Amino acid sequence: MSVVTRYVREKDLSDLAAVPPRAYVAFEGLDGLEAMPARSRIADGAYWFGLPAEDAERLPPSAQVRLLVDDGCFWFELRAITVRGVAAPIAPPWGDDALRWFEIQPERVAAWDYGRLRKEAGS
């Protein structure tokens, strides 16, 4: 049986990580599941996201989050990196005072690119 996969290595999407067109963060808030747009930075195995102060206050301490960085409009252009882990506030070394920044301690990282559908090795 052939297995077709859309999964790629995170390093295959280094351009997406370097200049993310869209990013969202989701977490369990006081009123249930919340998802909101965010700024993101991904570099050398580190994952950060920034939120405006009023949104950041809705994030519980040591929150379990999912960060999604994605690109593409049409099905065959869709590609993304998703990171699941615990978020902790940080003071960013890049000096962005407009947002409150958090670093994710990753538990799981996945990347996919529908434009690279292929047979999985060994199938």
The CATH number of residue 57's host domain is 2.30.110.10
Q: % helix / strand / coil in the chain, to the nearest 5?
A: 15, 50, 35
Identify the CA nearest to 71 among candidates 122, 9, 20: 20
Total domains in the chain come to 1
> Whole domain around residue 89: which residue ranges?
4-119
Cβ atoms of 47 and 85 within 8 Å: the answer is yes
Identify the CA nearest to 27 among candidates 67, 81, 57, 70: 67
DSSP state string for 42-65: EETTEEEEEE-HHHHTTSPTT-EE
**pLDDT per residue over 54-112, tens digit each?**
999 999 988 899 999 999 998 888 999 999 999 999 998 887 778 999 999 999 999 98
Cβ atoms of 63 and 86 within 8 Å: the answer is yes
Model pTM?
0.85
**pLDDT per residue over 92-103, tens digit each?**
888 777 899 999
